[in-house]
Amino acid sequence: MPHSEITRSLFDQVMVPNYAPLDMIPVRGEGSRLWDQKDNEYIDLTAGIAVNALGHAHPELVNALTEQAQKVWHVSNIYTNEPALGLAQKIVDNTFAEKVFFANSGAEANEAALKLARRVAFDKYGEDKSEIIAFYQGFHGRTFFTVTAGGQSSYSDGFGPKPANITHLEYNDLAALEKAISDKTCAVILEPLQGEGGVLPITPEFAQGVRALCDKHNALMILDEVQTGMGRTGELFAYMALDIVPDVVTSAKALGAGFPIAAMLTKTDLAAHFVVGSHGTTFGGNPLACAVAGKAFDLINDQKLLDGVKQKEQLIRKHLQLINDEFSVFKEVRGKGLLLGAVLNEQYQDQAKAFFLESAQQGLLVLVAGANVLRFAPALNISDDLIEQAMLKLKQAVKNVVNQDTE
């Protein structure tokens, strides 16, 4: 189909209407910049929702993909392959994990984690130990199991009977967890920073309390690091700053820095319960994905880059404060590393989308996390200069929305 015939209106004709994309269609990217069909330029502070951790079209990732594309694309899990084994070894060498299961998306990694928890409990303690505890405003994917575990019922309502034995509690409320958890609990699943739920960070006390309660009741502690993993918070994985060792960690998004791949990380004794035939995937461990992810792992697992994430966090926070000093729109800025949320104050309740849309008009791409939070998740290697330019565009967008609101 000629380029001129591919327009936003075609989406409404041929695509299932579960998304509402912007009118612009990106066609080219370089680093933290994007260009649309009309060659309009944007600064990208979304990174594909915390996916493109090294920006668009990173030359070393392009080379890794091109090199592997000339060898083997897909072999299935009837065989193993060199890129998958190489990536798994890097993960094992640099995390708590001893075993890795590869999938294609965060939902699949979380599905595997929840199934593993149920299987471990069934094998060791019997069928009564099946309760999963999760948290309100959590997000773990869109399969029916993971979306039910996620603590936002609007995403799981309307699809019939939900998977059973899932309990939801308030995030960061250790007393509530202590009251609810029991020897029938097989797992507690949580994010170390709730991304979709409003960019809410975990407290170290809560993380450590969850670990202790899981130990007490022989339950697995599953950390969903789909959004926080691979350098996003300034650590390779966020758990590394919490003084805990989880039983399972899930990773996706930035793991492939733009190429679809996910992983479930765990210990040998737990992994042993996934015997041959108990779980599987067609594309998980795909050589193309693992080749790209292997190179991305090398580039992200670099202390200079990780330290830079923390420095860039402070730069963005400084500019958000300056914007707020002038326009008084944010109640607080929360989050960690390059996953930050600017929470709108009472005067601008439910207007996150207005700031989001006006930012795009200014040539700046940002995210929302609900109706009241602007979310920023740029590439980890974004330059300070580009952050400065982005904040100027955000300032203009905020000014325009504020002026519209006062007219």
Please choose, from the candidates 304, 284, 254, the residue with its C-alpha nearest in 3D space to the C-alpha of residue 88: 284
Question: Taking every pair of C-alpha atoms in the chain, what is the biggest distance, in angstroms?
Answer: 66
Q: Residues at the annotated binding site for pyridoxal 5'-phosphate?
A: 106-107, 139, 224-227, 282
Mean pLDDT of 350-376: 96
How many Cα atoms are found within 13 Å in the side-chain-facing hemisphere of 113? Answer: 38
Give me 306's structure tokens.
């990780």
86, 92, 97, 99 alpha-carbon torsion, rounded to 10°: 40
The pLDDT of residue 1 is 58
Question: Quick one: DSSP state of residue 31?
Answer: B
Give me 405's structure tokens.
């609101």
Mean pLDDT of 122-138: 96
> Does 3 score more than 70 pLDDT?
no
The pLDDT of residue 38 is 94
Amino acid found at 390: A
Please choose, from the candidates 345, 321, 313, 323, the residue with its C-alpha nearest in 3D space to the C-alpha of residue 392: 323
Q: Which domains does the chain have, with CATH numbers?
A: 3-57+303-406 (3.90.1150.10), 71-300 (3.40.640.10)
Strands 200-201, 220-224: pairing is unpaired
Mean pLDDT of 154-167: 91
- pLDDT by residue (tens digit) across 17-51? 988 889 999 999 999 999 999 999 999 999 999 99
pTM of the model: 0.95
| Kind and range of the H or E run holding 216 | helix 204-216
The alpha carbon of 359 is separated from its chain's Cα centroid by a whole number of angstroms, namely 22
Cα–Cα dist 340/122, whole Å: 39
The alpha carbon of 151 is separated from its chain's Cα centroid by a whole number of angstroms, namely 16
Q: How buried is 255 (Cβ within 10 angstroms: 0-12 exposed, 13-18 middle, 19+ buried)?
A: buried
Cα–Cα dist 288/87, whole Å: 12
**DSSP states of 326-364:** HH--EEEEEEETTEEEEEE-GGGTT-HHHHHHHHHHTTE
Contact call for residues 329 and 398 (beta carbons, < 8 A): yes
Q: Residues at the annotated binding site?
A: 106-107, 139, 142, 224-227, 281-282
Rg of the chain over CA atoms, in angstroms?
Answer: 21
Dihedral sign for Cα 100, 102, 107, 113, please.
negative
Res. 269 pLDDT band, cuts 50 70 90? very high
Strands 41-44, 33-36: pairing is antiparallel
Contact call for residues 103 and 112 (beta carbons, < 8 A): yes
In the numeric block, the tokens 């004794």 are attached to: 269
Q: Residues at the annotated binding site for N(2)-acetyl-L-ornithine?
A: 142, 281
Contact call for residues 309 and 338 (beta carbons, < 8 A): yes
Three-state SS across 70-113?
CCCCCCCCCCCCHHHHHHHHHHHHHCCCCEEEEECCHHHHHHHH
Residue 191, SS3 per DSSP: coil
Amino acid found at 86: G
Residues recognised as catalytic: 139, 224, 253
The pLDDT of residue 2 is 58
> Does 154 score more than 90 pLDDT?
no
Give me 352's structure tokens.
């996150």
- Taking all residues of the chain, what is their mean pLDDT, rounded to a whole number? 95
Q: How buried is 152 (Cβ within 10 angstroms: 0-12 exposed, 13-18 middle, 19+ buried)?
A: middle
- pLDDT by residue (tens digit) across 390-402? 999 999 999 999 9
Res. 111 pLDDT band, cuts 50 70 90? very high
Cα–Cα dist 176/131, whole Å: 15
